[in-house]
Amino acid sequence: MAAPVRCFTRSLRAGALPIPRPHRTVKSQVRRVTSGATAIQTPEHAPPPNPPLFATKPGAPAPTQDPNQDSVPSRRDRIRDAKPFSDFLTDTFHRQHDYLRISVTERCNLRCVYCMPEEGVPLSPPKELLTTPEIVMLSSLFVSQGVTKIRLTGGEPTVRRDIVPLMQQIGALRTHGLRELCLTTNGLSLHRKLEPMVEAGLTGVNLSLDTLDPWQFQLMTRRAGFSAVQKTIDRIFELNRAGAGIKFKINCVVMRGLNDREILPFVDLTREKDVEVRFIEYMPFDGNKWSEGKMFSYQEMLDRIRSRYPDLQRIKGHKNDTSKTFQVPGFMGKLGFITSMTHNFCGSCNRLRITGDGNLKVCLFGNAEVSLRDIIRNVNRGDPIDEMAFKALEQAALERTGSLPSSSSRPLVVPNSEELLNVIGMAVKRKKEKHAGLGELEHMKNRPMILIDSTTSSQRRLQTHPRQSQFGLSPTLRRPPGRLPFPLLASLTTASRTTTPELRLFSTATTTRQQLPSDDHNKPRLTHVTASGAAHMVSISEKSPTKRTAQAKCTVRFSSPAPLALIRDNQIKKGDVLGVARIAGIMAAKRTPELIPLCHPVALTHAEVELVPRSSSSSSGTHSSSGSNGYEEGKEGDEEGKGRRDEIEITATVSCDGKTGVEMEALTAAGAAALTVFDMCKAVDKGMVVEGLRVVLKEGGKSGRWVEGGRVG
């Protein structure tokens, strides 16, 4: 990495702090393992202990220390120098969030059935994803506020080209409070990068593996590669025997009828291996076709294991563990159960997530996200901050402050630190006491799992100023004493203080009934939103089947007479515009439930799309069946007859015999037909406008007949 990026990890506050370098004995030990040596490092050659957990009080002189004395402060000193945990990372339920998960890529080299659709997911454009300097800046900011554990996720983090240099820079934050740097991976290529990652400070690996059968592996991941994963597992055990100290866990998502028979073989894996196998209840995410019938519950897993090992024992875990920990007496390894669906662990949640495109997500099952990326890029005019951009920002900061530090001790630069902390604090304060229950989770709109730990530009955005009271906070968040952020660059631009961050949602957020004033209780409510504000599919089980019809209209308006003349003469290069658009509209009507997430699938009895070309003049008000035969002639005609309008009016009519209406099918049909016209004519007319998409007729159902303008009976 270039020097401008390295400076992130050289200091956290105004004074310079050196980059912690891997201890020589660790490096040499890893190299000995690489070369085939089997020597195990003795305690006297062990790496130095972790840096002090608490820094000295602000303003206090640096203590002098005898090099022959132990550098670890006494318990009394640690209590004396302890600082209050950051208010920005503490929610209204007093949960302190000291664990940060960062998605470093959306890409993955597997297609696991519970994680993502077989066809993959739409990937964000590269410019929308966090750059390496941005990831390190955000990591530094969170560590300054008390985060002690960072986990890099994806996608698959090992497919990121600069994953090792990125880990080196984040690992350098160990001298400033970071205790754990972990990785969640499928293990496919980790064995090739594991040693430099250990040198960079890797302390833990969670490996996703759902089967010990190579053929079943290919079925569940839709890819080959079991042997490569086995190499990674063997390499982790090998390095741990040499003293690498990697906390190793295997995550297994259990799905009924697919891999539940492999629970016991995974348990047997812990007999002689120092590994924690964690069984995860199958969870619903977009595109993974979740159903309750596929979920193998925690209690069923316990019963299955105790049928062979009745003496299975519950053991004490960490207060913030997501899993319930067990062990078979005499076995070296442990078992864990992540019970998100049947027994939530929200009360002890200490996790925050940053998606690959820079959104802060305070709950795995929450759909509200706030963009940190957009805020941090404000000082770079909204453009990604790469190494060159960071170097320019750093130089500007040095010139403003007038400081001229030596080349080896430059201050860390975190743009908009104060604004970022305010927005982070507001998001954390809005975190709910617990996520939705089993009955609601399956209907909630959420990212595909592959994108959780990363959103596309098509998602809805709700702009909210960071200091608005709707977040439930006081106008200002006071920074706890002793928890100062890094040197700020907010003064570089006044615009950065007033630009509103974007709260990105997967469904339109709705105020709950309890939050409404009493006089608003009788106002119309959205039918597709639960009381908690989550999107869901409306139940139609109590409705009676009736004949239902809906009609929708829209217009494609051309900017010149040329396209309409070519359409009438069937001279458009792509073919028969009207015929193709008609078929496209009918096909779209039949596939509406696949395009609109909360639409019920209905059996259509009729779908019709009509396209009527029209040429009109505001002066005469008459329709003409003729048009210009060329673009230039049409242009001249427009100049002569101002107000001329050339368009295609589209009408879609859809019917069914069912329990729900077909308004969405009619709208989808008309819209798809219009888009098809646009696509086929865009080479001739780039100024086309699609306008006026609306329902003009609805018949059947409880509301009876309705036509545009109001109900008619």
Q: How far apart (Å, rounded) are the C-alpha atoms in residues 155 and 190?
A: 14
DSSP classification of residue 554: E
Local structure of residue 222 (DSSP, 8 states) = S
Q: What Rg do the C-alpha atoms of the chain give, in angstroms?
A: 30
Output the CA–CA distances (angstroms, integers) from residue 92 to 35, 96, 351, 429, in the order listed: 53, 10, 15, 6
Among 322, 298, 331, 326, which residue's Cα sits nearest to residue 312?
326
Element (H, E) at 611: strand 604-617
Is residue 664 classed exposed, middle or buried when 0-12, 13-18 and 19+ CB atoms within 10 A define those classes? buried
679 is annotated as an active-site residue: yes
Q: List all residues 6 or more positions away from 202 whose beta carbon is below 8 Å from its beta carbon.
A: 167, 171, 181, 182, 183, 194, 246
Region for 25 from its dihedrals, namely left if φ exceeds 0, alpha if ψ lies in -120 to 50, beta otherwise: alpha
Instruction: Tell me which of 81, 87, 321, 679 is the catalytic residue.
Output: 679
Q: Is 380 helix (H, G, I), strand (E, B) or coil?
A: helix
Nearest one of 443, 449, 634 to 534, comparing CA atoms = 443
CA nearest neighbour of 648 among 588, 580, 563: 563
Q: What CA–CA distances, in Å, run from 60 to 79, 85, 466, 660?
A: 16, 20, 34, 71
**27 contact partners, CB below 8 Å, separation of at least 6:** 199
With beta carbons less than 8 A apart as the criterion, state whether 592 and 654 touch.
Answer: no
Question: Nearest to residue 674, comparing CAs of 584, 559, 570, 574?
Answer: 584
Q: Structure tokens of 562?
A: 């040329």
Name every residue whose Cβ is closer than 8 Å to that of residue 157 and which is 6 or more positions away in sequence: 104, 105, 163, 183, 184, 185
Q: How far is CA 354 from the centre of its chain?
A: 7
Two tokens, residue 386? 């790469």
* Residues 6 or more apart in contact with residue 437 via CB below 8 angstroms: none
Q: Which residues are catalytic?
A: 679
